[in-house]
């Protein structure tokens, strides 16, 4: 399994994302924002951070990076793509996922270990989880409030496209406590919390996040 991990100027979590891929027995392939090809990878992780300094809007400039044109094309053909935090914002700006992420409702940057409920275990990235399993992974974002219009929310809810929901108090004002969603095919997933920081109890709150990368392994092996 070869998994591309994109680095934009301002990306922070590419190294941890690469480490998570290796923990799942994958080969992490660094991709640079200026690359025009995906080097034959089986899947792509768009990691967290502050691509292009979050200028204009989070993800708004990264979406137009050369490598993202390749990611968009590959995702539309079914390649598994995971966007974490800023990566989720980038996938939303790129219209691979609906809705948008806005400033947290209480304006504070939230940094804490966050319980999530697994709402959909049929995506390319969540098959290893039990349905409604609760997992604990770090959440660290200032603009994590998920917003979408009523029609989009209904579409997401009616078609089981909410992948993760916050458990307990809503940390950022996200509509319907949404922490992560998927596209209609289930190959593209975006979430604000950070599974790549929770792959080993030595360095994270749990190893609950590793399941996403092991799920990908299953997806790629089956493909």
Q: What is the contact mask toward other proteins in residues 11 to 50, using x (rule: CB under 8 A)?
A: ----------------------------------------
Nearest CA-CA partner of 44 in 12, 83, 90: 83
Q: How far is the CB of 112 from other proteins (least distance, A)?
A: 19
State whether the Cα torsion 135-163-35-23 is positive or negative.
positive
Question: Is 72 a binder of other proteins (CB under 8 A)?
Answer: no
Catalytic site includes residue 93: no
Q: Is 107 in the site for other proteins (CB under 8 A)?
A: yes
In angstroms, what is the minimal distance from the CB of 85 to other proteins?
17
Question: Across the strands, what pairs with 45?
Answer: 5, 82
Nearest to 110, CA basis, from 183, 29, 168, 189: 168
Which spans in the chain are helix H?
A: 14-23, 66-76, 86-93, 150-158, 210-222
**197 labelled catalytic:** no
Residue 102 near other proteins by CB under 8 A: yes
Sort strands 27-32 and 2-7 into parallel, antiparallel or unpaired: parallel
Smallest separation (angstroms) from other proteins to the CB of 89:
10
Over the window 123 to 152, marking each residue x when it contacts other proteins by CB under 8 A and - when it does not, the resulting string is: ----------------------x-xxx---
- How far, in Å, CA of 175 to CA of 88, rounded? 15
Q: What positions carry a catalytic annotation? A: 85, 194, 196
Site of interaction with other proteins (CB under 8 A)? 56-57, 60, 64, 92-93, 98-100, 102-107, 145, 147-149, 173
């Amino acid at each position: 399994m070869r998994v591309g991990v994109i680095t934009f100027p301002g990306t922070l979590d590419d190294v941890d994302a690469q480490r998570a891929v290796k923990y799942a027995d994958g080969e992490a392939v660094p991709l640079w924002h200026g690359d025009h090809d995906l080097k034959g990878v089986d899947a792509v992780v768009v990691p967290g951070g502050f691509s292009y300094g979050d200028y204009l809007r989070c993800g708004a400039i990264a979406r137009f990076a050369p490598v993202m044109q390749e990611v968009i094309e590959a995702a539309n053909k079914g390649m598994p793509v995971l966007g974490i935090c800023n990566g989720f914002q980038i996938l939303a700006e790129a219209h691979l996922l609906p809705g948008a992420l806005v400033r947290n409702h209480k304006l504070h940057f939230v940094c804490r270990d966050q319980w999530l409920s697994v709402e959909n275990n049929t995506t390319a990235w969540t098959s290893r989880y039990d349905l409604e399993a609760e997992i604990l992974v770090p959440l660290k974002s200032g603009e994590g409030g998920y917003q979408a219009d009523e029609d989009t929310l209904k579409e997401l809810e009616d078609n089981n496209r909410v992948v993760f929901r916050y458990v307990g108090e809503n940390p950022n004002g996200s509509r319907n406590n949404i922490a992560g969603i998927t596209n209609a095919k289930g190959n593209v997933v975006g979430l604000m919390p950070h599974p790549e920081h929770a792959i080993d109890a030595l360095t994270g709150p749990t190893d609950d996040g590793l399941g996403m990368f092991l799920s990908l392994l299953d997806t790629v092996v089956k493909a």
